[in-house]
Amino acid sequence: MQTNNHLSINPYVFGKPIYEYNNLFGRKNDVDKIKDHIINKDIKITLLHVQRRIGKTSLITCLPQSFTEEQNGVKFVTFSFQGYKDKPIPEILNYLADEIAGTIQLPQKVRDQADTTHNFFELFLPKVIDQYLSGQKLVLLLDEFDVLEEKDKKGKVLFDYLKKAVKEQKKLFAILVFGRPLKDMKYLETFLQEEGQETIEVGLLDYEGTQDLIVEPLKRIQSVFRYEKSAIDRIWELSAGHPSLTQLLCSNVFVHCRNKQQSVVRKDDVDSILSQAMEEGQAILQGFLEPLSDIEKLFFFAVAEAQEQGTDPLKILKIIQKTTITPADFRRARERLIELGFVEKNGKGLKIKVELVRLWLIEKNPLPNNKQRKPKEGRKKIKRHITSSQPNRPNPVAQFIAFIALISVIVFIGQKLLSRIDSSKNYERFQSDCYRLSEEISNALEEKKDTTQLQVIKKVRTEWSREKKGLLDKQCPYSYELDAKYNALLQYYGQSKVDTGNFDEGIEAFCEITSEYKNFSDIKKIFERWVLIDKRLSNESTKRVLKQIIKQNQSGNDCLVYSFKDDRNKNDLYDLKAQVHADDYEYGEAVESYCKITENYYKFETVVKQLKKLKRENVEKVEEKLKELNDPCPAFPPSPDN
């Protein structure tokens, strides 16, 4: 095989966003439509409907870069409503003003003009556009707009303000990004009809876009690898143009062929990596289940099984459905899956759009009728690559040895089962526990009552401790997405407590959220605002917040969203804590906080100066505190100068 310096470089990006427009393959048509709206058609509000798990973050991140130097009359400000759905509109606009001010580098006095909803639209935005953009268009790229509909329907109110503002400001534009069906937001449907516009749909790639995503990354690094057309067709058949899953397959195929020292990718190579790809792609594949209720998940699994057996999903469900689930429930589940684009009509039946998702659902297989399944050719291929072929007839000696081994195994298993039967009952009871917990979390999220939510949280902490027993999804045999739902419950409960000033309980809930959660980065931003830029809290509230964050990090559990394992987090927090105490003339506490800051802090020189300033203001208290400290103070080491 021909060798090349680029042979070992895997050019496929899977599991993380793409940050450079030059590496965003397959989305040219979508980007061109958006640019046409703003540059050529002067469309003031563009509605961008993006399917779940389709590479939205990559598109939104790269979109401003697609406006080249020749089109530099555009200034983008990107803002996500995720994490703010429970906030009142004035507070949301306050955060948006922070983002605008930070992006455009506005003076603080201009930023402060956005202190009310009226002033944001009537004073702040006009001044920004007229005085600070040099004739550029201001494009507000507003992500997760539909989350404003989840609680008290703030979306329409904010949209009406925005619609009025873009009419009054010639150079103001907005792109609203949302994932839920348009029919759930009637006012947007009405707007489109009035304006004679259509939503820009961002979904699965077409064949040409998928092919670009497969071959262009190789060209970019001048790789010797190439795909036979049959291999490209097979990837297209499996991924249906889903960008992340296409990258997943290509990444695994690349590693497979590299290890075999072959430069040509064939169809069999694609089939050989399916099990590995499904294992590696759990996070993306699991995302197809996240927005679904338990009934919708059950129907989704049934469609996958029905496709496998060539039958109707309802026949599968008749075997397993619980008495509480009605045919009407399944009809609603069917329509919901079609709305989300996960399932499509196929003649008189249904078909899962993305074949790799279907194979993964079959592989998970929580349905009890799997013994009746007749595997299709595609499944046989996967199994052939998972297990080695077996001889047709073992010899008599091998049969005898196998028989003895089987008897030994049966006796061993029997003893184990007898020893555990009193404590664990059986596997099905554990399954029912998982189902019950899933229902309790769902009900707590739906009811939105603090008492109910706290009851469920306490149950998980005591009976299902993630710290001691591992993630909930690992404790359960079936896929209920317990961690995703429990993290959502922690976020909702935590935000509710923080909003009412109960920082202790709110921060404790936030700190329990695990890094796999889809809104993890939004929770981190809340903590960063508390520690770095949020001056709206009183000094007393700030002290309580910082004290609770410290407590969580010293509890042994670690606060995942703001961990002291990162020195930067710890130093930033103690820097602010020192400043707040100094403002209240609490010199001892201020000195103690400054002395916890390490020398690698990027503002360490400023800390040293602040500590010297405190000493000048009150020598006695500062020196007394320095003597009390058990550990050396990096910012004030003993020396003749001090």
Q: Please enumerate in sequence order all residues whose Cβ is within 8 A of that of 345, keeping only pairs 6 or more positions apart, or say none.
A: 338, 351
Q: Which residue has the tokens 């070992």?
A: 8
pLDDT of residue 474: 80
**Residues 226, 117: one domain?**
no
The answer as to whether 493 is a domain residue is: yes
Nearest to 635 by CA among 602, 605, 590: 605
Q: How confident is the model at residue 10 (pLDDT cuts 50, 70, 90)?
A: confident
pLDDT of residue 417: 40
**Residues 365, 509: one domain?**
no
Ranking 142-151, 206-215, 252-261 by mean pLDDT, the lowest is: 142-151
Strands, E assignment, 333-437 = 343-346, 349-352
Exposure class string for 124-161: b at 16+ Cβ within 10 A, else e: bbbebbeebeeeebbbbbbbbbbbbbeeeebbeebbeb
149-170 per-position pLDDT tens digit: 876 678 999 999 999 999 999 9
**Residues 195, 280: one domain?**
no
Residue 326 belongs to domain with CATH number:
1.10.10
CB 78 within 8 A of CB 143: yes
**Residue 141, helix vs strand vs coil:** strand
pLDDT of residue 149: 84
Span 15-42, mean pLDDT? 89
pLDDT of residue 426: 36
pLDDT of residue 121: 97
**Residues 366, 405: one domain?**
no
CB 247 within 8 A of CB 213: yes
Helix (H) or strand (E) holding 148: none
Query: How far is it, in rounded angstroms, from Cα 62 to Cα 40?
Result: 20
Cα 341 to chain centroid, rounded: 19
Whether pLDDT at 194 is above 70: yes
Whether pLDDT at 494 is above 50: yes
What six digits make up the tokens of 436? Answer: 């019950």
The answer as to whether 441 is a domain residue is: no
CA distances from 296 to 299, 301, 328, 332 (A): 5, 9, 12, 8
Q: Which residue has the tokens 């599991």?
A: 15
Q: How confident is the model at residue 421 (pLDDT cuts 50, 70, 90)?
A: very low
**Number of helices (H), then strands (E), in the chain:** 32, 9
**Residues 616, 530: one domain?**
yes
Ranking 6-20, 344-358, 497-511 by mean pLDDT, the lowest is: 6-20
Q: Please enumerate in sequence order all residues whose Cβ is within 8 A of that of 486, keeping only pairs 6 or more positions apart, or say none.
A: 441, 460, 472
Query: How far is it, in rounded angstroms, from Cα 321 to Cα 220?
Result: 51
Whether pLDDT at 557 is above 50: yes
**Residues 146, 273: one domain?**
no
The answer as to whether 240 is a domain residue is: yes
The answer as to whether 218 is a domain residue is: yes
The answer as to whether 524 is a domain residue is: yes
**Residue 216, helix vs strand vs coil:** helix
431-456 per-position pLDDT tens digit: 667 778 888 898 888 877 888 899 99
CB atoms within 10 A of CB 164: 12
**Residues 34, 76: one domain?**
yes
The answer as to whether 637 is a domain residue is: no
Q: What is the pTM assigned to this prediction? A: 0.60
**Which among 282-291, 527-536, 631-640 has the top mean pLDDT?**
282-291
Mode of pairing for the β-strands spanning 343-346 and 349-352: antiparallel
**Residues 66, 195: one domain?**
yes
Whether pLDDT at 389 is above 70: no
**Residues 86, 146: one domain?**
yes
The answer as to whether 533 is a domain residue is: yes
Q: In what order do the strands lie in the sheet with 137-143?
A: 74-80, 137-143, 172-178, 45-50, 200-202
Span 571-599, mean pLDDT? 90
Span 600-623, mean pLDDT? 86
Q: How confident is the model at residue 7 (pLDDT cuts 50, 70, 90)?
A: low
Domain termination residue (choose one: 284, 314, 338): 284
**Which among 183-187, 474-478, 526-530, 614-618 has the top mean pLDDT?**
183-187
Mean pLDDT of the chain, nearest integer? 83
* Structural domain harbouring 278: 207-284
Q: Is the dihedral of CA 188, 193, 194, 199 positive or negative?
A: positive
Residue 252 belongs to domain with CATH number:
1.10.8.60
pLDDT of residue 407: 53
Query: How far is it, in rounded angstroms, from Cα 411 to Cα 414?
Result: 5
